[in-house]
Amino acid sequence: MSILVQPDTKVLIQGITGGFGGQHTKLSLEYGTQVVAGVTPGKGGQVFADRVPVFNAVKDAVEETGATVSAVFVPPPFAGEAILEAVDAGIELVVAITEGIPVTDMMRVAATMEGSSTRLIGPNCPGIVTPGEGPQSSGGCRIGIAPGYIHKKGSVGVVSRSGTLTYEAVWQTTQLGLGQSTCIGIGGDPINGTSHLDILKLFNEDPETESIIMIGEIGGAAEEEAAAWAKDNCSKPIAAFIAGTTAPAGRRMGHAGAIISGGKGTASAKKEALADAGIAIAQTPAEMGATLAKLL
C-alpha cells in the first residue's frame, strides 16, 4: 500500500496563505490530494481556494478536520516553531519544505522530537508523492513541490537527498513503464528528520515496492549506513547514484549538508560502500532508470 501517505491521507498546509505555499497547495488539490485544512496565525476563518478552511493553529485544524500530515511552507525564521507546533498537535508526519532553517533551530527541533511519535521529512526537501490510479497518476497524494504529472503508479520506490534528481529518477522510471510506489525527497540539510536508512526499511517492508532507487550526495555518512544495512537485510534490488564526484574537499556544494569535511563523506567512499553491498551504481544521472532496469 505504498509508504507513509496514501490517496486518502488528510493533509494540512502550514503557510497556506503565502505565495509559495498557496501555489503548491493548488497544485496538490489539482492532483487529487486530500488537503483538508490550512494554518496561518491571524487568518483563521478564511477559506482557501473556496474549499480549504484556514485555522489560526495546527491543534484547531487537527481537531476540526482529522488531518494526520502537515506540510510546512513557513519562512525560515519561523519554520522550526511551525514543526514543533505540528508535533505538539499530534501530527503523525511533518513534511518541511522550507529551505534555510537555521541549524540551531533544527538542533532544538531534533532534541525536542526525540522519542516523539511524529516523523519528520526534511527540511529543505521536495516532499513526498504516492501516485494514484488516475490520468497521469492523479488521485494520489502529493505533498510538497514535486511535479505531479511526471509520476506513474508502479513498483519503484525512490528516496533522494536531491529534489531535481528525484524528478529525474521519477521521469526515467515513468518512461520505462515501471512507475513508482512512493517517492520521497529527504532533503539536503545536515540535520534532517528521516534518513536513507529509515526509508529503505519502509520500502523493504512494502509489498507494492519491488525495487528501489537511492540518490545520495557528498557529505555525511547516511548513504554508507544505508548500504551496510541493505547488504544483510534488503531483499529488493537497489540502484543508486551519488552526486558530487568532482567536488573539492571543504567546499559546500549546493545543499547545506553537501560538504566533504575531515576527509569524510566523499563520493568515492560512498560508491565503495554501495558496491560492497551489491547495489548497482549509475555513473551519471541519465543512467539511473536504465541501471535499475538492468537489475530487473
pLDDT tens digits for range 184-208: 999 988 889 999 999 999 999 999 9
**What letters, b where the CB count within 10 A reaches 16 and e where it falls short, cover 232-268?**
eebebbbbbbbbbeebeeeeebbbbbbbbeeeebbbe
Mean pLDDT, the chain, integer: 92
Range in 41-50, 109-118, 265-274, 285-294 the model is least confident about: 265-274
| Other Cβ atoms closer than 10 A to 115 | 5
Q: Is 66 left (phi over 0), alpha (psi -120 to 50) or beta?
A: left
Q: Which residues in 161-210 belong to E strands, given as ranges? A: 180-185
Q: What pLDDT does 252 receive?
A: 55
Concerning whether 255 is annotated as a catalytic residue, the answer is: yes
pLDDT tens digits, one per residue of 234-252:
999 999 999 866 555 555 5
For residue 262, pLDDT over 80 is answered with no
pLDDT bracket for residue 230 (50, 70, 90): very high
Peptide bond into 123 cis (omega under 30): yes
Contacts of 164 (CB under 8 A, 6+ apart): none
For residue 1, pLDDT over 70 is answered with no
- In the chain, domain spans: 10-121, 152-295
Q: What pLDDT does 97 receive?
A: 98
- Selected from 3.40.630.30, 3.40.50.261, 3.20.20.70, 3.40.640.10, the CATH number assigned to the domain covering 152-295 reads 3.40.50.261
Taking alpha carbons only, the member of 244, 247, 103 closest to residue 165 is 244
* 152-295 and 10-121 share a CATH fold: yes
Q: Which residue has the cell 531535481?
A: 164
pLDDT tens digits, one per residue of 97-151:
999 999 999 999 999 999 999 999 999 999 999 999 887 778 899 999 999 999 9
Q: How far apart are CA 122 and CA 72, in angstroms?
A: 10
Taking alpha carbons only, the member of 261, 237, 228 closest to residue 247 is 261
Q: What pLDDT does 133 receive?
A: 86
What is the arithmetic mean of pLDDT over 33-61? 98
Contacts of 102 (CB under 8 A, 6+ apart): 76, 77, 80
Q: What pLDDT does 258 receive?
A: 47
Helix (H) or strand (E) holding 280: strand 280-281
CATH 1.20.1730.10 fits domain 10-121? no
Contacts of 151 (CB under 8 A, 6+ apart): 129, 131, 136, 137, 140, 170, 174, 179, 180, 183
Q: How far is the first Cα of the chain from the last one, in angstroms, to the nearest whole number?
A: 21
Of 87 and 261, which is predicted with more confidence? Answer: 87
For residue 56, pLDDT over 60 is answered with yes
Of 170 and 218, which is predicted with more confidence? Answer: 170
pLDDT tens digits, one per residue of 275-287:
999 999 999 999 9
For residue 165, what is its C-alpha cell?
534528481
Q: Measured on CA atoms in the order 163, 168, 169, 170, is the torsion positive or negative?
A: positive
With beta carbons less than 8 A apart as the criterion, state whether 98 and 72 touch. yes
What is the arithmetic mean of pLDDT over 259-268? 61
Kindly report the pTM of this predicted structure.
Answer: 0.93
pLDDT bracket for residue 267 (50, 70, 90): confident
